[in-house]
Amino acid sequence: MGQPIGERIVKWTLLALALSALTSLLLIAAFIFKEGVPFMVRYGWLKFLFSSDWQPGTGHFGVYPMIVASLCVTLGAMLVGAPLGIAVAIFLNEFVPRHVTSVIKPAIELLAAIPSVVYGFIGVMVIAPLIRNHLGGPGLSILCAAIVLGVMVLPTIISIASDAIGSVPKSYREGALALGATRWQSVHMVVLKAARSGIVAGVILGMGRAIGETMAVIMVAGNSFMLPRSVLDSVRTLTANIAIEMGSATGAHRQALFATGVVLFVIIMILNSVAMAAMKNRKAKR
């Protein structure tokens, strides 16, 4: 007998919704590539990617300093956010009573609802002056942006990592303790390895949030076109450049900003692919 008509309707409805999400992604990618790739071919791939001269008024479009800035800010954000987020997830799941976790975890997840402009405002008014007064430089810098973005990605990393750790069967912990492991040894050697895929997924999503953030980065990174030589230097990221200049861009300048979007898209895909490949290699070695 075939499926009931109700089940078939639900099945095809869910399939249509899933395909619509995929279609939307493909349409966005196709539009960006359609607008940006021809410009990159016409202007020159190498010249566009590795030139440090961005002067739209004179027809010079080099995004190399912005690529370096985006990677530095993202790496800094993950150095701040990933260890802290994973540590909080472990603490909430393994060392805190359940009734306390049920209060703290929703409070942490509320951080995701705070507008990015608020994070940027705190960075400008609090973090940047501290950096300027104690470490030197203009204050609005890679370090300031990394700290702000590191805090912004915490809800994503903590939420997903906590769910992954919480889904590890209790028998895993009990088995490790029965074999003589300490509480921390059972967490380190058993629980974290069992939850590794979920933790990596949280870090990857946090990385995507960090590299794609715009408003907060515009406010705290300094918006300088120079190639950074220190974490105290001001920079402009790819996303900030698109947001600042797209409103007034026309002609080749507008196409160059779409090409910048292509570069950003490719960087995100490469970073995600590298993270997933590393995860698969570690699984294969186990």
Confidence of residue 35 (pLDDT cuts 50, 70, 90): confident
pLDDT of residue 2: 58
Model pLDDT, residue 179: 84
Helix residue ranges, H only, 181-286: 183-186, 192-194, 196-212, 215-220, 238-245, 251-285
pLDDT digits (tens, 9 = 90+) for 244-263: 998 888 889 999 999 999 99
Q: pLDDT of 75-103, one tens digit each?
A: 999 999 999 999 999 998 888 888 888 88
Residues 202, 164 contacting (CB under 8 angstroms): yes
- Per residue in 112-131, pLDDT (tens digit) is 888 999 999 999 999 999 99
Token pair listed for 248: 């007034």
Where does residue 112 rank: exposed (0-12), middle (13-18), buried (19+ CB within 10 A)?
middle
| pLDDT at residue number 104 | 85
Q: pLDDT tens for residues 142-191?
A: 999 999 999 999 999 998 899 889 888 888 888 888 888 888 888 888 88
Encode 67-100: b = buried (16+ Cβ within 10 Å), e = exposed: bbbbebbbbbbbebbbebbbebbbebbbebeeee
Phi, psi of 60, deg, nearest 5: -110, 125
Angle at 277 between CA 275 and CA 281, to 5 degrees: 120
Q: Where are the domains of the chain?
A: 49-285
Question: Residue 207 and residue 254: Cα distance in Å, rounded?
Answer: 27
Q: How far apart (Å, rounded) are the C-alpha atoms in residues 104 and 121?
A: 25
Is this structure's pTM higher than 0.95? no
Fold topology of 49-285: MetI-like fold (1.10.3720)
